[in-house]
C-alpha cells in the first residue's frame, strides 16, 4: 500500500510516487475525492511537493482528475512540484496539461 494523502475540501497533498504501480490506489483515491465533496469548493489546490516520482500513467490520472474538477465547477491549482517532478512532466509531454501555477 502506498503512502497516505492529506485531503480536505480545498487541499490535496499526495505523497510518494504517482506511477503505474500505484494506479489502482491512486484512481480509487481520486474518484473518492470527486464523490461526496460538499460543498464543492471554488478552487482545489493539489500540492505536489511530496510526490517523489511520476510516470505517464500518473500524469494521465492527474490530468483526468483536473478535468473532472473543472467539469464540476472547481478550479484546480497545481502547486509546489519539486524540480525533478516538473522535468519528468515536461519530458513525458504533459507540461501543457499539468503546468503548476506559481505561488503568489
Segment 50-100, tens digit of pLDDT: 999 999 999 999 999 999 889 888 899 999 999 999 999 999 999 988 977
Helix (H, G, I), strand (E, B) or coil at 66: helix
Give domain status of residue 48, yes or no: yes
Q: Is the pLDDT of residue 36 over 70?
A: no
The domain total for the chain is 1
Q: What is the pLDDT of residue 3?
A: 53
Q: Per the structure block, which three cell numbers stand in for 9?
A: 475540501
Q: What is the pLDDT of residue 31?
A: 78
Give domain status of residue 56, yes or no: yes
Contact assessment for residue 84 and residue 49, using Cβ atoms and an 8 Å cutoff: no
Confidence (pTM): 0.82
Cα separation, 3 vs 16, in Å, equals: 6
Residue 99's H or E segment, with its range, is none
Cα separation, 9 vs 49, in Å, equals: 18
Q: Which of residues 79 and 40 earns the better pLDDT score?
A: 79
Q: What is the CATH number of the domain that holds 68?
A: 3.30.750.24
Amino acid at each position: 500500500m502506498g503512502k497516505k494523502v492529506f485531503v480536505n475540501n480545498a487541499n490535496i497533498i499526495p505523497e510518494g510516487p504517482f506511477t503505474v504501480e500505484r494506479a489502482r490506489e491512486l484512481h480509487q483515491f481520486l474518484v473518492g475525492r470527486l464523490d461526496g465533496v460538499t460543498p464543492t469548493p471554488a478552487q482545489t489546490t493539489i500540492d505536489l511537493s511530496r510526490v517523489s516520482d511520476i510516470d505517464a500513467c500518473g500524469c494521465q490520472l492527474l490530468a483526468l482528475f483536473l478535468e473532472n474538477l473543472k467539469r464540476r465547477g472547481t478550479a484546480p491549482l497545481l502547486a509546489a512540484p519539486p524540480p525533478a517532478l516538473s522535468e519528468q512532466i515536461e519530458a513525458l509531454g504533459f507540461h501543457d496539461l499539468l503546468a503548476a501555477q506559481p505561488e503568489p
